[in-house]
Structure 1
Amino acid sequence: EHLYKERHLIERIFLYLKNFRRVATRYDKLASSFLSFVLIAASMLWLK
């Protein structure tokens, strides 16, 4: 049960991140650019 609670949190984070079109469609060609935008999107969600 404890693992299920953590899994739900992680899946919810991915759901929020996929609301950003650039993340959902993997718009960036370079992995470093993609990771950078994922970090920016996560920061925006954290500041919300």
Structure 2
Amino acid sequence: LTRQGTRPVISPMPNRRAIPPFDPVAYRKRNLIERAFCRLKDWRAIATRYNKTARNFLAGICLVLAVTSWIS
């Protein structure tokens, strides 16, 4: 990850002797993105990409995210 210019945001194991630096704010943001992708995959049409054109696929993603954010 470091070679690609990104910072790792992975929670360290508590039993490690030398605990690497950890940013809890960045970890919360990462978790938020992971949960959004998980909610997208719950919708079968998005997970299998039923809409073949990019415009319709993006519209489907926007619709799913709007519905899931409205419900939760």
TM-score (norm 2): 0.63
TM-align CA RMSD: 0.8
Instruction: Identify unmatched segments of 5+ residues in structure 2.
Output: 1-22
What number of residue pairs does the alignment pair up? 48
Q: Distance in 1 between matches of 2:55 and 2:31?
A: 27
Q: Distance in 1 between matches of 2:52 and 2:61?
A: 13
Q: Alignment identity in percent?
A: 38
What's 2:63 paired with?
Answer: 40
Q: Distance in 2 between matches of 1:25 and 1:18?
A: 9
Greater helix share, structure number? 1
- The structure whose RCO (Cα within 8 Å, separation 6+) is larger is 1
**Bigger-Rg structure (1/2):** 2
Extract structure 1 runs of 4+ deviating beyond 2 A.
none
Instruction: Identify unmatched segments of 5+ residues in structure 1.
Output: none
